[in-house]
Amino acid sequence: MSKLSIEDVDVAGRRVLTRVDFNVPLDDGGRITDDRRIRAALPTIQSIIRRRGKVVLMSHLGRPAENGYEAEYSLKPAAAALSQMLGQPVAFPSQDCVDAAAAAAVESLGEGQVLLLENLRFHAGETENDAEFAARLARYGQVYCNDAFGTAHRAHASIVAVPRSMGAAKRAAGLLLLAEVKYLSDILKNPQRPFVAVLGGAKVSDKLGAIKRLLDVVDDVLVGGAMAYTFLEVLGRRMGKSRVEHDRLDDAREIIELAAEKKADLFFPNDHVCGKEISDGTPIKVFEDHIEDGWIGLDIGPQTQHRYAERIGKARTIIWNGPMGVFEVGPFSVGTKAVADAMAAATRNGATTVIGGGDSAAAVEALGMDDAFSHVSTGGGASLRLLEGRNMPGLDALDDA
């Protein structure tokens, strides 16, 4: 079901209470180290400004203790960054999103003006989806808009209870949210084939639901990262000191059996770049099939990189979630880069390519390749949830188109 777009709501002269995801990483000096999530919200914010709406933004940042203001979790740096991107002031009225100063600033906001409320999670009511806290926020808006894809899978106050308590107001999806849903769920419904999913990352347990669902829709699933080792253990390979989830062997076995019944093919690494420890200076050795005792598998090997790149090169649709190795450490970033390069080449050849959020998005950002794909998601957990085909509380709370 498609959702009402904020572009189709008359916002002129109205206060649009807009949930954004400004949960950006900050360094020790409080500087934003990656502003992608703020940039991603610009189309929605600019659309409201252009149509003379009044923009009231709300977001969380990090995981504060939830009992009041904490400077290190303040959204103030986000307000400054947004102001610079928009080329206009962004009001940041107080240290509490629901105190009298915040309410007064919201009240006096003019057409085309923008205000950012302080971190919602300074109140426990946010994560508790508390109705009373939500009612105080809901008073700020005459229209509700959710553009916080990265948080739309959580039933928190600003995502669920706020739109619920806004009476007759329209509840619309922002442009980022709509784009994310289009890429991550619509693609599964009618993909151009061959359709390849690349799955990696640390844990099988996080991705069980997504793999099971993908086996029904894709042609190939290419598995990498530490999660491959749990499957390979089931297949009788010796994995040395690699990260195997021993409590997930049955799940891995079930998926291998399931794949045999489906038309999707499951691929695993057949060679591994290994170290003695996770560090730049560790000795490195490549093993085929079995990994010797004392060695840790930390990246897919050169043969696997080649095999995977070949499958990706033949695909018309590719979805990728989770790095192929410990991409944060130089010698073990090669497999992840190989997948990114193959996907970028496929994009240039007309394939639709989607990078799930979280660490795969961080990896392509670190490689300076975030413009090389059809879509790079801003939400890790949220994109997995869509791939699993599960409902999203943040979408359910919005009006249908």
- Distance, in Å, from the CA atom of 276 to the CA atom of 296, rounded to the nearest integer, reads 6
Q: Does 16 bind ligand AMP (CB under 6 A)?
A: no
Which C-beta is closer to ligand AMP: that of 191 or that of 323?
323
The identity of residue 77, as a single letter, is: P
Active site residue 224: no
| Candidate list 64, 77, 125, 225; residue touching ligand AMP; CB under 6 A | 225
Active site residue 52: no
Which C-beta is closer to ligand AMP: that of 48 or that of 223?
223
- Distance, in Å, from the CA atom of 95 to the CA atom of 388, rounded to the nearest integer, reads 38
User: Could you tell me which of 200, 207, 389 has the C-alpha nearest to residue 300?
Assistant: 200
Active site residue 170: no
What is the Cα 353 distance to its own chain's centre? Answer: 15
Write down the least CB distance from residue 80 to ligand AMP, Å: 29
- Distance, in Å, from the CA atom of 175 to the CA atom of 396, rounded to the nearest integer, reads 16
What track of x and - describes contact with ligand AMP for positions 179 through 218 (by CB under 6 A)? ----------------------xxx--x------------
Which C-beta is closer to ligand AMP: that of 163 or that of 322?
322
Pairing mode, if any, of strands 296-300 and 271-275? antiparallel
Angle at the Cα of 373 from the Cα atoms of 256 and 199, rounded to 5 degrees: 15
Q: Does 358 bind ligand AMP (CB under 6 A)?
A: yes
Active site residue 381: yes
Q: Does 335 bind ligand AMP (CB under 6 A)?
A: no
| Candidate list 174, 301, 325, 357; residue touching ligand AMP; CB under 6 A | 325
Judged by DSSP in three states, 326 sits in: coil
Tokens of 172: 């619309």
Q: Does 367 bind ligand AMP (CB under 6 A)?
A: no
Which C-beta is closer to ligand AMP: that of 325 or that of 379?
325
Q: Strand order in 171-173's β-sheet?
A: 90-91, 114-116, 54-58, 15-19, 143-146, 171-173
User: Could you tell me which of 11, 31, 93 has the C-alpha nearest to residue 58?
Assistant: 93
Q: Does 323 bind ligand AMP (CB under 6 A)?
A: yes
Q: Does 387 bind ligand AMP (CB under 6 A)?
A: no
Q: Does 328 bind ligand AMP (CB under 6 A)?
A: yes
Q: Does 241 bind ligand AMP (CB under 6 A)?
A: no
Which C-beta is closer to ligand AMP: that of 141 or that of 322?
322
What track of x and - describes contact with ligand AMP for positions 242 through 261 (by CB under 6 A)? -x------------------
Distance set, CA 27 to CA 72, 330, 366 (Å): 10, 21, 16
Write down the least CB distance from residue 339 to ligand AMP, Å: 12
Q: Does 298 bind ligand AMP (CB under 6 A)?
A: yes
Reported in sequence order, the residue ranges of 103-234 that DSSP labels E, i.e. its strands, are 114-116, 143-146, 171-173, 195-199, 220-223
The answer to whether 259 touches 265, Cβ cutoff 8 Å, is yes
Catalytic residue among 36, 203, 243, 307: 203
Catalytic residue among 37, 154, 337, 385: 37
Catalytic residues: 37, 203, 358, 381
User: Rule CB under 6 A: which residues touch ligand AMP?
Assistant: 201-203, 206, 225-226, 243, 297-298, 322-323, 325-326, 328, 358-359
